[in-house]
Amino acid sequence: MGKTLFHKVWEDHTVRTLPNGQTQLFIGTHLIHEVTSPQAFGMLRELGLKVKYPQRTFATVDHIVPTNEMAEPYSDPLAQAMIQALRDNTKEFGVTFFDTNTGKQGVVHIVGPEQGITQPGTTIACGDSHTATHGAFGAIAFGIGTSQVRDVLATQTMALSPLKVRRINVSGKLGPGVYAKDVILHIIRLLGVGGGKGYAYEYGGEVFDNFSMEERMTVCNMSIEGGARCGYVNPDAKTFEYLKGRPYSPQGADWDAAVEKWASYASDADAEYDDVFNIDAADIKPTVTWGITPGQAVFIDENLPLLDELDSADRATAQEAYEYMSLNPGEPIRGTKIDVAFLGSCTNGRLSDFEEAAKYLKGHKVAPGVKAIVVPGSQVVAKIAEAKGLDKVFTEAGFEWRGAGCSMCLAMNPDKLQGNQLCASSSNRNFKGRQGSPTGRTVLMSPVMVMAAAIKGEISDAREVFGVQVATVGVEGA
Amino acid sequence: MAALEKIKQVSGRAVPVPGDDVDTDRIIPARFMKCVTFDGLGEYAFFDVRYDGEGNKKKHPLNEERYEGATIMLVGNNFGCGSSREHAPQSLHKFGVRAIIGLSFAEIFFGNSTTLGMPCVTVSEDTLHLLTQAVESHPESALTINLEKMEIDCGGNTFPCELPPAAREGLLAGEWDALALLLKDQQDIEAVADKLHYV
Ligand code: SF4
């Protein structure tokens, strides 16, 4: 029987079995940011410990940076204190910091890949639950808490219980106007927000083979929203192509050896999985959430579920969601008025997201009364997008073009919903209060769907708004 | 490092916090995470659940006088999902919570809580229902979670509960915070690093 990538990476990184049965796992790459690291450095100081492999930790600042006011000191003294603490800590402990003046700052899960730090066959940890994003490269990447950030800083290891592996195959071809975001929202809808508990998700099949690295990242990013501890795609030629020539990628003679090694980590053809789940791409349509968990989602042309259509275990949360969202069972989600449109985040804040969105937005205007913002995931993304003139497409349509950061994905910077505003968002969480107002409402969707909502001022089917041909399944070539 | 307490049981009065999929944004809203220490997080636990926009107390068990001082929370399914923020269990711990009884827990939250010595045990739906009823009618009486027997004592009745073996052994042995173990025999860590292709 062959092995999965997960098992190969786990074996190569195992230091020992701990008395409680957990594995002490070596963490090859550690990413940190300003929110979950200061307490960890504080604990190191208290214990008189050093960072064991400072060259294996990389820092950036993302959650708290205001994306419309880049000059320091920030008007929020707490935000200023946090960025300063990261500067001081990385300096004292000898850790590389992609500060705001380096041209490399951005959301940690966008910076790692674009710098070539994220590599196949490695273990990655970061004090942030969307660390699974890095799994797109065939890395095993864990979101961790602050005590574990401390553990990794002090020992470059952490204690973990082994996971089962669920292979998720998406076969066939996605229809026009259906994106990676729809794939992962669909997966979570089917398997549930707790369905991945105890699992690593291995994504594969024709759809993933055809996906770009950025699309793979979008899916892996939301693994945690399905309850999985990590998610990954096996490395292939596209992975290597993406990494070639990046600042931290192996260079020169080391490159070929690295590629050979990376390829060897891919799951064997006869690998054994604890579970296999198959999805047909043709069944997936543009998907939006309607509730307060990412699993509460429908296709854009569906009506919202009636309570008695739902699993009895899901009804109470659904009821709560309907009340919170001011939506009604049985009604369409299409046509729901929006107040804010947000394109950005570590799910959909990369260049290809902006290119695809701009392609459709061009020549349109944001509906009156809608606040619309685009936030590049990193300074690198911003620079390339500006060089391509994408920023102009957005601003001409009525979007604000911002600096790099997490922005309205969560409420740790000045970008917040007000009152019960409803936001069409390309981010990953629609939890109550997630976007900064305790009564604010979030509807998750793909970047192109955010564009459609922004233009129409209501949740819309982007395929109709932009006249994208909807192929009738099955008649192709008939 | 100082030796950790062996946690064999947790006793205290309980408070039911109903609902499934209670995420860590709800346990500690992100705006309260602008801090460089965990001190002071206790007062913000479940802030938007407990207070309205004007700072008035909302109707919620955590605001009820009869549950004041409770140290055990009764929760539903997938508690602690979402963000990996340790600020969530830290705020509960600082709020006074010492153990959580629920139907199921999100993994990162579970691990973070265990590392604070705050056990998260699971029970069946029936048990949760009975415990909730008992706590609602007698909020003044204490529950005891016994981690050696994996039992919850509630007014003389006992109910089985579960905890994954790794967490249970860690708590019983006073090794719930792994750092001391991870720091041992560092040459083994270095040996793994040396044979990896990229370190
Ligand atoms: S963009 Fe959103 S999900 Fe991603 S790291 Fe920032 S806050 Fe977290």
The whole-number average pLDDT for the span A69-94 is 95
Spatial contact of A146 and B174, defined as CB atoms under 8 Å apart? no
Contact flag B179-A151 (C-beta cutoff 8 Å): yes
Instruction: Tell me what pLDDT residue B148 has.
Output: 98
Q: Are strands B142-146 and B120-122 parallel, antiparallel or unpaired?
A: unpaired
Instruction: Tell me what pLDDT residue A43 has.
Output: 94
Instruction: Tell me what pLDDT residue A416 has.
Output: 96
Contact flag B189-A410 (C-beta cutoff 8 Å): no
* Residues 320-339 of chain A whose Cβ lies under 8 A from any Cβ of chain B: 320
Residue A275 CB neighbour total at 10 angstroms: 13
Helix (H, G, I), strand (E, B) or coil at B143: strand
Ligand 1: does its nearest atom lie under 6 Å from the Cβ of A351? no
Q: Is A475 a residue whose pLDDT tops 70?
A: no
The whole-number average pLDDT for the span A204-223 is 98
Q: Domain map of chain A by residue range? A: 5-275, 287-466
Report which of B115, B125, B147 is spatially closest to residue B75, judged by C-alpha positions. B125
List the strands of the sheet with A340-343, edge to edge. A400-401, A371-374, A340-343, A422-425, A441-444
Three-state SS letters, chain A: CECCHHHHHHHHCEEEECCCCCEEEECCEEEECCCCCHHHHHHHHHHCCCCCCHHHEEEECCCCCCCCCCCCCCCCHHHHHHHHHHHHHHHHHCCEEECCCCCCCECHHHHHHHCCCCCCCCEEEECCHHHHHHHHHCCEEEECCHHHHHHHHHHCEEEECCCEEEEEEEECCCCCCCCHHHHHHHHHHHHCCCCCCCEEEEEECHHHHHCCHHHHHHHHHHHHHHCCCEEEECCCHHHHHHHCCCCCCCCCHHHHHHHHHHHHCCCCCCECCCEEEEEEHHHCCCEEECCCCCCCEEECCCECCCHHHCCHHHHHHHHHHHHHHCCCCCCECCCCECCEEEECHHHHCCHHHHHHHHHHHCCCCCCCCCEEEECCCEHHHHHHHHHCCHHHHHHHHCCEECCCCCHHHCCCCCCCCCCCCEEEECCCCCCCCCCCCCCCEEEECCHHHHHHHHHHCECCCHHHHCCCCCCCCCCCCC
Report which of A226, A341, A331, A292 is spatially closest to residue A441, judged by C-alpha positions. A292
Query: Is A287-466 in the same CATH topology as A5-275?
Result: yes
Instruction: Tell me what pLDDT residue A9 has.
Output: 98
In angstroms, the CA B148 to CA A96 distance is 46
Contact flag B183-A155 (C-beta cutoff 8 Å): yes
CA closest to A36 among chain B residues: B85
Please tell me the distance between residue A410's alpha carbon and the centre of ligand 1 in angstroms.
7
C-alpha angle A141/A146/A151, rounded to 5°? 75
Report which of A126, A123, A170 is spatially closest to residue A146, judged by C-alpha positions. A126
Report which of B55, B41, B63, B191 is spatially closest to residue A39, judged by C-alpha positions. B41
What whole-number percentage of chain A has pLDDT above 90?
A: 96
Averaged confidence pLDDT in chain A:
96
Q: Are strands A123-126 and A29-32 parallel, antiparallel or unpaired?
A: parallel
Report which of A160, A187, A179, A218 is spatially closest to residue A22, judged by C-alpha positions. A160
Distance from CA of A68 to the nearest CA of B (A): 18
Question: What is the number of H-type helices and E-type strands within chain B?
Answer: 8, 7
Instruction: Tell me what pLDDT residue A474 has.
Output: 42
Contact flag A119-B170 (C-beta cutoff 8 Å): no
- Token readout for B105 is 């827990």
Cis peptide leading into residue A414 (ω within 30°): no
Instruction: Tell me what pLDDT residue B22 has.
Output: 96
Burial class (CB in 10 A: 0-12, 13-18, 19+), A33: buried
Instruction: Tell me what pLDDT residue B2 has.
Output: 74
Q: Are strands B142-146 and B151-154 parallel, antiparallel or unpaired?
A: antiparallel
Specify the number of domains making up chain B: 1
Pocket test for ligand 1, best of A31, A124, A128 (most atoms within 8 A of CB): A128
What digits encode the pLDDT tens for the residues A285-324? 999 999 999 999 999 999 999 999 999 989 999 999 999 9
Report which of A79, A24, A67 is spatially closest to residue A406, judged by C-alpha positions. A67
Alpha-carbon distances of A304 from A175, A193, A299, rounded to whole Å: 22, 18, 9
Report which of B125, B118, B26 is spatially closest to residue B73, judged by C-alpha positions. B118
Bridge partners of B13, per DSSP, are: B142
Residue B79 sits in which domain range?
A: 9-195
pTM of the model: 0.95
Burial class (CB in 10 A: 0-12, 13-18, 19+), B75: buried
Report which of A34, A36, A39, A47 is spatially closest to residue A80, judged by C-alpha positions. A34
Contact flag A147-B82 (C-beta cutoff 8 Å): no
Q: To probe the interface with A, which of B34, B58, B77, B176 has the most A CB atoms within 10 Å?
A: B34
Contact flag A438-B29 (C-beta cutoff 8 Å): yes
- Token readout for B130 is 């009975």
- DSSP conformation class of B115: H
Q: Is A252 a residue whose pLDDT tops 80?
A: yes
3-state helix, strand, coil in chain B (%, to 5): 40, 20, 45
Instruction: Tell me what pLDDT residue A251 has.
Output: 96
- DSSP conformation class of B81: B
Distance from CA of A462 to the nearest CA of B (A): 28
Residue A476: pLDDT band (50, 70, 90) is: very low
CATH number, domain with residue B137:
3.20.19.10
Spatial contact of A348 and A426, defined as CB atoms under 8 Å apart? yes
In angstroms, the CA A95 to CA A87 distance is 10
The whole-number average pLDDT for the span A211-237 is 98
Chain A hits for B183, CB-CB cut-off 8 Å, are: 49, 154-155
Instruction: Tell me what pLDDT residue A470 has.
Output: 63
Distance from CA of A80 to the nearest CA of B (A): 10
Instruction: Tell me what pLDDT residue A414 has.
Output: 94
In angstroms, the CA B77 to CA A64 distance is 31
Does residue B3 lie within any of the structural domains? no
When CB atoms are compared, the residue of B21, B89, B188 closest to A193 is B21
Q: Which CATH class is domain A287-466?
A: alpha beta
The CATH number of the domain covering residues in A5-275: 3.30.499.10
Residue A69: pLDDT band (50, 70, 90) is: confident
H or E stretch at B182? helix B179-182
Residue nearest to atom 1 of ligand 1 (CA): A345
Chain A hits for B177, CB-CB cut-off 8 Å, are: 147
What digits encode the pLDDT tens for the residues A353-397? 999 999 999 999 999 999 999 999 999 999 999 999 999 999 999
List the strands of the sheet with A123-126, edge to edge. A96-98, A57-60, A29-32, A123-126, A140-143
Ligand 1: does its nearest atom lie under 6 Å from the Cβ of A64? no
Bridge partners of A14, per DSSP, are: A25
- DSSP conformation class of B123: -
Instruction: Tell me what pLDDT residue A478 has.
Output: 35
Chain A hits for B124, CB-CB cut-off 8 Å, are: none
Residue nearest to atom 6 of ligand 1 (CA): A406
Contact flag B86-A410 (C-beta cutoff 8 Å): no
Is A147 an interface residue toward B (CB < 8 Å)? yes
Interface predicted TM-score of the whole assembly (ipTM), two decimals: 0.92
- In order along its 199 residues, chain B shows pLDDT tens digits of 678 999 999 999 999 999 999 999 999 999 999 999 999 999 999 999 999 988 999 999 999 999 999 999 999 999 999 998 999 999 999 999 999 999 999 999 999 999 999 999 999 999 999 999 999 999 999 999 999 999 999 999 999 999 999 999 999 999 999 999 999 999 999 999 999 999 8
